[in-house]
Amino acid sequence: MTTPPRNRIARLIAAFATAFAIALPSDTLGADTRFDKMRAKISAFVADKMEKLGGSRIIYKVDTDGLREAVVTDLRDDVYKILREGRIAFSGLAIRDGGVDVKIADAKGRDQLTHKLASASEGLPAYALAVTDGGDGLLRLAPTDAASAARLRDLVDDSIAMIEQRLKDAGIALASVQPEGADRIRIFLPGAMEPERITAIFAKKVRVGFRLIDLSMPAERAQTDTPPAGTEVLLGFKDKLPYLVAKDSALEGDDISYAGPGFTSDTKEPIASFRFNGRGARRFAHVTTENVGRPFAIVLDDKVISAPVIREPITGGSGQIAGNFTLEEANSVAMLLRAGSLPGRLGLVEQQVVHPITGP
């Protein structure tokens, strides 16, 4: 009797996972780089074996141009924040040719800027920069090639995590998602012969919005009556309760630079944490300053996942989403937030059916 392909695949993955654990001694497990390389080799080997059983192969490419633009824009925004908060006089702050130019007459001010950029502080990331002195106080700042390559790897890793989460949310448990080269991602789904059904999952962009809640009418009444102009009723992600929210977003998901699961420091409750880029941080600070005491809704694809009250201005550029989540739900929410903000959009390169290879 022939073993069903899905069972053969599951047995294959289990066998190699066991072999992988046995092959690595405990001291090797502590060496992250060697561990990651070995894991990548074994994962690629398993993926190749899976493809021989037939299924759908899909290849995406991340938008490296969009990534470079996002990195340099964040750098400019962070430079502006450091200069403003440090009361450092400057002029000519602008993005040029993949870097940031700024003129600072005071040498101490130039040193202060480069020092702060090189060390993570005040919610800002640490930058690995190539700094060029253009004379007469002109500084040119640009990410190093190594830093750019690291950001690309991070983007690919984030994209893979997002793809895996969205496949899981769609009920697709058995899939191989692997990097291919520096900027491509290969997805293989064994036994699936309709790749278009899978690419349709990623064709729809996740919509992320931060919207103010309208308190002029109870949401339950707005469901049956006509809601105020410029508002609509949306349901909660978990509680299914109605919320009367503004149709226009105060901020969009494009301004989120990071999102991930975590825990509260006191109750250890699972949460989704997020951080804005420079532009988003300024807008979030403005919105929260102008609306202290009002609730606002964090909306994912027309579902309210959280509706906290603004207790005070939030100027640090980061926040947390709590909602009685399980850790799995917090991770799903974080990945959806990230999916709406990935600077390198996924471009479809290939989708095809791979027929099983029969015989020895």
Q: At 295, which CATH number?
A: 3.30.1360.200
Whether 22 and 77 share a structural domain: no
Going by the DSSP 8-state scheme, the letter that residue 323 receives in this structure is S
How far is residue 55's CA from residue 49's CA, in Å, rounded to a whole number?
A: 12
Domain assignment present for 163: no
Domain assignment present for 156: no
Whether 109 and 8 share a structural domain: no
DSSP code per residue over 118-173: HS-BTTBPP--EEEEEEETTEEEEEE-HHHHHHHHHHHHHHHHHHHHHHHHHTT--
- Residue 20 in this model has a pLDDT that exceeds 50: no
Question: In total, how many domains does the chain have?
Answer: 3
Containing domain of residue 271, as a range? 208-339
Whether 45 and 92 share a structural domain: no
How far is residue 43's CA from residue 41's CA, in Å, rounded to a whole number?
A: 5
Q: What mean pLDDT is reported for the chain?
A: 81
Whether 127 and 244 share a structural domain: no
Whether 221 and 264 share a structural domain: yes
Whether 138 and 243 share a structural domain: no
Whether 10 and 124 share a structural domain: no
Whether 264 and 320 share a structural domain: yes
Q: Which of 108-112, 237-241, 287-291 has the lowest mean pLDDT?
A: 237-241
Domain assignment present for 164: no
- Residue 334 in this model has a pLDDT that exceeds 90: no
The pTM for the full model equals 0.69
Domain assignment present for 358: no
Q: Which CATH number does the domain housing residue 128 bear?
A: 3.90.1070
Whether 248 and 309 share a structural domain: yes
Domain assignment present for 311: yes
Domain final position from 121, 144, 167:
144
Whether 86 and 49 share a structural domain: no
Whether 260 and 217 share a structural domain: yes
What is the pLDDT averaged over residues 323-333? Answer: 82
Whether 40 and 77 share a structural domain: no
Domain assignment present for 245: yes
CB distance 182 to 188 below 8 Å: no
Domain final position from 91, 118, 144:
144
Domain assignment present for 117: yes
CB distance 127 to 117 below 8 Å: yes
What is the pLDDT averaged over residues 14-40? Answer: 48
Domain assignment present for 281: yes
The confidence band for 110, taking pLDDT boundaries of 50, 70 and 90, is: very high
What is the pLDDT averaged over residues 112-135? Answer: 82
- Residue 54 in this model has a pLDDT that exceeds 90: no
